[in-house]
């Protein structure tokens, strides 16, 4: 292992650890701009995280160790996912055959413990959030898997680093329509998995209407800081996937990195625009939205497997 590869790996680790909260800042700033406000500084999420980590916390008497395990497992899972998603113009930190399936399941593990921590409080609001999260995941997950399978089938590789590498450029030249479908499907999955409008409203003050935020209602102080950080890493994972599908630049390295980081910011701005331009859907309509993501990805799969 040369010094250069060690430095490159370290660089990737730094990006994974440091960049995610910035995306939240970009989203907040975009929404503020749309609303005609100045908005918080771009680095506000970092300040929030440091403040939260230094605070004390209040926990409910009904809770057990599961309540603390929820944020912890979610953070570990998000970092694992970030490690197998290709970064910059090159490969992921960790690539192996079928890693996208493990990614989906590790995020499932995070979901399990987040929901269990919500149910641990015995609050009906949090139970409600958990039930919604579980239900929506049942439709979002097949879309996610089918979308990535479609690309896997077209590129003949079963590893994220393989099929989001140089071979996807060729797929863009022969089957761009299918890739657009996959990207659209994955964008909807991103919105659902990261609790964004139109699936969920992270900024509402009405607990009854929320999904993810209501699940972590009882987590305060450092626990909530860990939740927030984990959620931002998860947002980074989905944004990075989308960027690597949409902007597959591999060479030269500086342009690839520029495209990757720029792409992340563009995705964050796009989320901000979507959140500013539309309202949250009524809950009964969310499954329909996610089903359309499923259909996009299934159609792409059929087109690419033909």
Partner 1 sequence: MTGCFIALGVLVVSACAALAFGRGGRAASAIAACGAVAAAALALPDAIAVLAGDVPAEVTILWASPIDELRFGLDPMSAFFVVPLVVLGAICAIYGAFYLDDQRARRHLGFPAFFYNLAIAAMLVVLLARDAIGFVIAWEIMTLASYFLVTFDHAQSEVRRAGWVYLIASHLGVAAVLSMFLLLGSHGFAFTDLAASGRADGGAVTVAGILGLVGFGVKAGLVPLHVWLPEAHAAAPSHVSALMSGVLIKLGLYGILRTTTFVGDAVPWGPVLLSVGTIGALVGIALALYQRDIKKALAYSSVENIGIAAIGLGVGFWATSAGEPTLATLGFCGGLFHIWNHTIMKGLMFLGAGSVLHGSGTRDLEQMGGLLKRMPRTGALVILGTVAIAGLPPLNGFASEWLIYLGLARGGSAADSSVGLPLLFAVAAVATVGVMAVLCFVRLAGIALLGSPRGDGAAHAHESGRGMVLPMTVLAAFAIAMPFVAPLLVDALTPLLVELGVEAPSSVAAHDALVDLAYVGIALWSGIIVVYLVVRRLARRRRESETWGCGYVAPNPRMQYSGASFAEGMHRLLPGVLRAKINVPYRTELFPPPVDLRANVEDPFTRAAYEPVLDRLARRFGQLRWVQRGLLHIYILYVVLAVVVTVAIVSLRDFWGGP
Residue selected from 72, 266, 270, 295 as contacting partner 1 according to rule CB under 8 A: 72
CA nearest neighbour of 196 among 136, 107, 116: 136
**Of 145 and 168, which CB lies nearer to partner 1 in the complex structure?**
145
Going by the DSSP 8-state scheme, the letter that residue 285 receives in this structure is G
When asked if residue 44 is in the footprint of partner 1 (CB under 8 A), the reply is no
Nearest approach, Cβ of 295 to partner 1 (angstroms)?
A: 12
User: Which residues, 154 to 193, sit near partner 1 by CB under 8 A?
Assistant: 156, 158
Q: Which of the stretches 18-26, 41-49, 97-105, 262-270 binds partner 1 when contact is defined by CB under 8 A?
A: 97-105
Residue selected from 69, 180, 184, 270 as contacting partner 1 according to rule CB under 8 A: 69
When asked if residue 98 is in the footprint of partner 1 (CB under 8 A), the reply is yes
Nearest approach, Cβ of 17 to partner 1 (angstroms)?
A: 13
**Of 162 and 272, which CB lies nearer to partner 1 in the complex structure?**
162
| Cα–Cα distance for residue pair 107/73, rounded to 1 Å | 9
| Cα–Cα distance for residue pair 213/114, rounded to 1 Å | 11
Provide the angle, in degrees to the nearest 10, between the axes of the packed helices 20-35 and 253-277.
40
Produce one character per residue of 79-95: b if its CB has 16 or more CB atoms within 10 Å, e if not: bbbbbbbbbbbbbbbeb
Enclosing H/E stretch for 102: helix 99-120
Residue selected from 71, 89, 162, 185 as contacting partner 1 according to rule CB under 8 A: 71
Nearest approach, Cβ of 203 to partner 1 (angstroms)?
A: 16
Q: Collect all residues with Cβ–Cβ distance below 8 Å to 191 and sequence separation of at least 6.
A: 197, 198, 199, 271, 274
| Cα–Cα distance for residue pair 52/44, rounded to 1 Å | 12
When asked if residue 46 is in the footprint of partner 1 (CB under 8 A), the reply is no
Q: Two tokens at 48?
A: 């929030």
User: Which residues, 99 to 158, sit near partner 1 by CB under 8 A?
Assistant: 101-102, 104-106, 108-109, 111-112, 115-116, 118-128, 130-132, 134-135, 137-139, 141-142, 145-146, 149, 152-153, 156, 158
Nearest approach, Cβ of 25 to partner 1 (angstroms)?
A: 23
**Of 69 and 247, which CB lies nearer to partner 1 in the complex structure?**
69
Q: Two tokens at 248?
A: 């597959």
Nearest approach, Cβ of 137 to partner 1 (angstroms)?
A: 5
When asked if residue 73 is in the footprint of partner 1 (CB under 8 A), the reply is yes
User: Which residues, 196 to 235, sit near partner 1 by CB under 8 A?
Assistant: 207, 217-218, 221-223, 225-226
29 backbone dihedrals φ, ψ, rounded to 5°: -65, -40
By CB atoms closer than 10 A (0-12, 13-18, 19+), residue 264 is buried
**Of 138 and 278, which CB lies nearer to partner 1 in the complex structure?**
138
CB 292 within 8 Å of CB 184: no
CB 146 within 8 Å of CB 301: yes
User: Which residues, 271 to 300, sit near partner 1 by CB under 8 A?
Assistant: 287, 298
């Amino acid at each position: 292992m040369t010094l250069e590869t060690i430095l490159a790996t370290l660089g990737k680790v730094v990006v994974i650890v440091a960049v995610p909260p910035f995306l939240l800042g970009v989203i907040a700033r975009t929404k503020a701009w749309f609303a005609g406000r100045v908005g918080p500084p771009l680095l506000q999420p970092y300040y929030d995280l440091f403040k939260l980590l230094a605070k004390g916390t209040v926990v409910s008497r009904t809770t057990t160790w599961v309540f603390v395990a929820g944020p912890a497992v979610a953070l570990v899972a998000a970092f694992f996912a970030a490690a197998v998603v290709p970064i910059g113009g090159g490969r992921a930190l960790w690539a192996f055959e079928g890693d996208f399936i493990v990614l989906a399941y590790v995020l499932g593990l995070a979901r399990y413990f987040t929901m269990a921590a919500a149910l641990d409080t015995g609050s009906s609001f949090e139970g409600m959030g958990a039930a919604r999260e579980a239900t929506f995941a049942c439709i979002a997950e097949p879309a996610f898997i089918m979308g990535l399978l479609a690309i896997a089938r077209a590129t003949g590789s079963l590893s994220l680093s393989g099929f989001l590498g140089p071979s996807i450029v060729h797929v863009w030249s022969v089957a761009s329509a299918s890739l657009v479908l996959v990207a659209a499907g994955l964008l909807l999955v991103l919105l659902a998995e990261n609790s964004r409008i139109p699936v969920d409203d992270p900024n509402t003050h009405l607990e009854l209407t929320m999904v993810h935020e209501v699940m972590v209602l009882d987590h305060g102080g450092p626990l909530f800081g860990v939740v927030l950080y984990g959620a931002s890493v998860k947002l980074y994972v989905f944004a990075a996937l989308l960027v690597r599908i949409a902007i597959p630049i591999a060479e030269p390295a500086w342009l690839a990195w520029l495209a990757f980081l720029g792409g992340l910011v563009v995705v964050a701005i796009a989320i901000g625009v979507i959140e500013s331009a539309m309202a949250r859907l009524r809950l009964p309509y969310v499954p329909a939205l996610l089903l359309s993501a499923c259909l996009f990805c299934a159609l792409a799969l059929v087109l690419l497997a033909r």
